[in-house]
């Protein structure tokens, strides 16, 4: 029976992924900030929950020590933990910027760094790093979220070269707005007093909620694709794009180039 470690499993895609892998015969190491947040996973066969804060090297090492005492091997690590932050650069907050950088990007870096020695000693393993379509295209109010996801893309591709000799594969996964509580939990800075900012924030927020509500089939598509990737690791670095929205945005960006794509987005947002 294979074993997968998944970060950020207390809710959303991480929670659904943990349940899906367990249902399909995998041992699941489900990590989260607080065990009370993972009540939906308790008592599920094949799922073991651990406290792990991806922003803390000490927390990661403590979790790793306990995990490796409980499990002989780990086949796959899915870096899923992430947060959103929608703000204008002018009005951004240092604390919120630090949070999103430390969770979305450095969290991936630190978890990979911790478990590379495990994979290297086993001489096999796979890192699946959850990015976003935000890692491939740039959209309004995404200065911070998109930056972290593009950092995950670059980091993952570079790391993949380093790990080729050890039979360790690396891939990223991008998708659009799935109907989870992610958008509801996304921190949004209210641009009081700046009419242009207020107008743009309202429009982007409505567009995202509208798209999210329509993507009813995306969540099961994501978790089934993650299982398929885990069961069929690729030796070469790969980017997996899931869902109509993500694929159409990726295709448009490729066909149009950044100048025409930028014009289309501007017309769509400011019309």
Beta-bridge partners for 187:
85
Report the alpha-carbon distance of residue 218 to residue 59 in Å, rounded.
Answer: 32
Q: Look at residue 183 in the predicted model and tell me its pLDDT.
A: 45
The CATH architecture to which 3-270 belongs is 3-Layer(aba) Sandwich (3.40)
- Helix 106-122 to helix 143-162 angle, to the nearest 10 degrees? 20
- What's the pLDDT at 8? 95
Question: What's the pTM value of the predicted model, to 2 decimals?
Answer: 0.88
- Residue ranges, the chain, pLDDT below 70: 177-192, 208-216, 258, 267-271
SS3 for 112-178 is HHHHHHHHHHHCCEEEEEECCHHHCCCCCCCHHHHHHHHHHHHHHHHHHHHCHHHCEEEEEEEECCC
Which residues are known catalytic residues? 10, 131, 145, 149
pLDDT at 5: 98
How many CB atoms lie under 10 A from the CB of residue 84? Answer: 20
**Predicted pLDDT of residue 180:** 47
The string of DSSP codes covering 190-224 is --TT-HHHHHHHHHHHHHHHHHHHH-TTHHHHHHH
* pLDDT, position 196: 79
Per domain, the residue ranges of the chain are 3-270
């Amino acid at each position: 029976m294979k074993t997968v470690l998944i970060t950020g499993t207390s809710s959303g895609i991480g929670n659904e992924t943990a349940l899906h892998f367990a249902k399909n015969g995998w041992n699941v190491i489900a990590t989260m900030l607080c065990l009370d947040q993972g009540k939906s996973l308790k008592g599920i066969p094949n799922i073991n929950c651990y406290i792990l804060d991806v922003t803390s090297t000490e927390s990661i090492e403590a979790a790793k020590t306990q995990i490796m005492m409980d499990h002989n091997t780990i086949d796959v690590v899915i870096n899923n933990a992430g947060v959103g932050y929608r703000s204008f650069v002018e009005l951004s907050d240092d604390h919120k910027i630090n949070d999103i950088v430390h969770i979305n990007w450095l969290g991936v870096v630190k978890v990979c760094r911790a478990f590379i020695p495990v994979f290297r000693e086993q001489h096999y393993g796979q890192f699946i790093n959850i990015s976003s379509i935000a890692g491939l295209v740039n959209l309004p109010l995404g200065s911070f979220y998109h930056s972290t996801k593009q950092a995950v893309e670059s980091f993952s591709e570079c790391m993949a070269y380093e790990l080729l000799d050890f039979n360790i594969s690396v891939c990223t996964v991008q998708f659009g707005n799935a109907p989870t509580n992610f958008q509801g939990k996304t921190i949004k800075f209210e641009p009081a007093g700046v009419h242009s900012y207020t107008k743009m924030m309202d429009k982007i927020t409505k567009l995202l909620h509208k798209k999210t509500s329509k993507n009813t089939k995306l969540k099961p598509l994501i978790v089934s694709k993650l299982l398929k990737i885990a069961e069929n690791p690729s030796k070469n670095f790969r980017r997996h794009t899931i869902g109509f929205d993500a694929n159409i945005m990726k295709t448009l960006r490729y066909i149009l180039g950044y100048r025409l794509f930028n014009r289309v987005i501007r017309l769509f947002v400011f019309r």
